[in-house]
């Protein structure tokens, strides 16, 4: 089973310039990583009138209850004045033990840590009761109409999620 290093994955995610609503290929990248862990995935793209399309990712490992769903976002706010950065915001680096780059704090590192934890859990627990899922949006920093709100409709088609972990404030 693949073990995913959280720092390495966080650096890889930060390299994608995912300023809302730009996907820059990040959902496909994360989807590929999750598939190596055995997740079944679905990219969900939504568009509202007068807004640009946004890609979201739903991934699920197993189909039993209870299900634990982690919700997060991979979009970031604009980097602002690049002269105010000590590094290129989309070329992550570690300085004095801190990961620096756009999305390092909000919230690409959080997603990387969860995926790493899942990779370790699955590696040590070939069989477990329940299932694990992720709902990752590309529209939290922007108008937030083509992200979690619309992606969560998938739960009406499937069994409702038993437990959610939202690692950021939601509308």
Cis before 21 (ω within 30): yes
H helical segments located in 95-160: 108-124, 148-151, 154-157
Confidence check: pLDDT of 93 > 90: yes
**Known catalytic membership, residue 75:** yes
Confidence check: pLDDT of 170 > 60: no
Q: Is 154 exposed, middle or buried (0-12, 13-18, 19+ CB in 10 A)?
A: middle
Confidence check: pLDDT of 32 > 50: yes
* Arithmetic mean of pLDDT, 147-170: 66
Render pLDDT for 125-139 as a digit per residue (tens, 0 to 9).
989 999 999 999 998
Set 6, 75, 141, 161: catalytic member = 75
CA angle (97, 139, 41) in 5-degree steps: 85
Q: What is the pTM of this model?
A: 0.91
* Domains, the chain: 6-166 (3.40.630.10)
Whether 125 and 131 have beta carbons less than 8 Å apart is answered as no
Set 6, 140, 141, 161: catalytic member = 140
Q: How far apart are the first and last CA of the chain?
A: 37
Of the pLDDT bands very low, low, confident and very high (cuts 50, 70, 90), residue 171 is very low
Of the pLDDT bands very low, low, confident and very high (cuts 50, 70, 90), residue 152 is confident
């Amino acid at each position: 089973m693949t073990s995913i290093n959280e720092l390495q994955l966080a650096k890889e995610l930060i390299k994608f310039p995912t300023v809302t609503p730009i996907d820059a290929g990040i959902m496909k990248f994360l989807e590929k990583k999750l598939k190596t862990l055995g997740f079944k995935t679905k990219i969900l793209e939504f568009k509202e009138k007068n807004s640009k399309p946004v890609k979201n990712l739903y991934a699920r490992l197993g189909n039993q209850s209870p299900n634990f769903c982690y919700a997060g976002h991979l979009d970031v706010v604009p980097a602002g004045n690049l002269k105010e950065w000590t590094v290129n915001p989309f070329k992550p680096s570690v300085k004095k033990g801190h990961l620096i780059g756009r999305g390092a704090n909000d919230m690409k590192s959080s997603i990387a840590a969860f995926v790493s934890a899942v990779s370790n859990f699955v590696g040590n627990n070939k069989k477990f009761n329940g299932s694990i899922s992720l709902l990752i949006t590309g529209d939290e920093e922007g108008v937030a109409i083509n992200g979690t709100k619309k992606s969560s409709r998938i739960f009406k088609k499937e069994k409702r999620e038993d437990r959610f972990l939202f690692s950021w404030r939601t509308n």
